[in-house]
Amino acid sequence: MNTRFWNRVNKGGPVPTHKPELGPCWLWTGYQNHRGYGQASFNGKVMLTHRISFTIQRGRLPLAGMKICHHCDNPSCVRPDHLFEGTDSDNMRDAVSKGRLPTLIDGRTNNPNTQKTHCKNGHPFSPENTKIRMRNGKQSGRSCIICMRNSAREKARRDYVPHPRKTALTALLAKWEGKP
Ligand SMILES: [Zn+2]
Ligand SMILES: [Zn+2]
């Protein structure tokens, strides 16, 4: 099984420009999902190939809740020494330090907001949960999509006005009930 796995790996991948000391990436040549991660079946289960590589190398699965992250930022890379096991927040910190998360790019990089990994309500500024706000064709900030959804729901509740016919009916009923 392990030989079959490594047979599908191209060890002559690109050298990461931000960390050339890592050496070339080992690219998965088989199926990749839409986010560029390799996918294959391993012990009868479909797994991401960098997690399979980690499992083969360490002789155990990644711990529950732990992410296998890439030093090289190359999702299809399965080179064991390019991988590390970390929590979601390690991954997030790593991503921010490499500038991989959506941040402001209009030169205001010293804006402390660009360094935040979570919104004020603690939701992660992950690529899936971040909306880039634009002003005059430039990024002007980031919004948390969970919070945007919650506040839209709250506004809808606040602005809720009962249908006029219902209001009229309620008034009519009250009038009748008020009669002796
Ligand atoms: Zn790599
Ligand atoms: Zn939020």
pLDDT digits (tens, 9 = 90+) for 33-85: 988 999 999 989 999 999 999 999 999 999 888 889 999 989 999 999 999 99
Q: Per the domain annotation, does 91 fall within a domain?
A: no
CA separation for the pair 113, 18 (Å, rounded): 24
State residue 171's pLDDT score. 80
State residue 24's pLDDT score. 97
CA separation for the pair 51, 106 (Å, rounded): 36
Do both 74 and 126 map to the same domain?
Answer: no
Q: How far is the CA of 55 from the centre of ligand 2 (A)?
A: 34
- Residue 105, pLDDT > 60, answer no
Averaged pLDDT of the chain: 84
Mean pLDDT of 8-22: 94
Q: How far is the CA of 84 from the centre of ligand 1 (A)?
A: 11
Instruction: Kindly state the percentage of the chain with pLDDT values over 90.
Output: 44
3-state secondary structure at position 71: coil
CA separation for the pair 158, 89 (Å, rounded): 35
Closest ligand (CA of 17): 1
Do both 20 and 72 map to the same domain?
Answer: yes
Residue 161's contacts (CB-CB under 8 Å, 6 or more residues apart) are none
- Can you give the residue range of the structural domain that contains 141? 101-180
State residue 179's pLDDT score. 62
- Residue 5, pLDDT > 80, answer yes
Do both 29 and 82 map to the same domain?
Answer: yes
pTM: 0.54
Do both 78 and 105 map to the same domain?
Answer: no
- Of 33, 56, 86, which residue constitutes the final position of a domain? 86
Tokens representing residue 25 in the block: 């990436």
Tokens representing residue 2 in the block: 């392990």
Q: How far is the CA of 14 from the centre of ligand 1 (A)?
A: 8
Q: Per the domain annotation, does 93 fall within a domain?
A: no
How many folded domains does the chain comprise?
2
* Cβ atoms of 159 and 152 closer than 8 Å: no
Q: Using one digit for the tens of pLDDT, what is the confidence trace for 142-155?
A: 889 999 999 999 98
Do both 71 and 132 map to the same domain?
Answer: no
pLDDT confidence bin for 106, thresholds 50/70/90: very low
- Residue 103, pLDDT > 70, answer no
- Residue 111, pLDDT > 60, answer no
Ion ligand 2: residues, CB within 5 A, are: 119, 121, 123, 144, 146-147
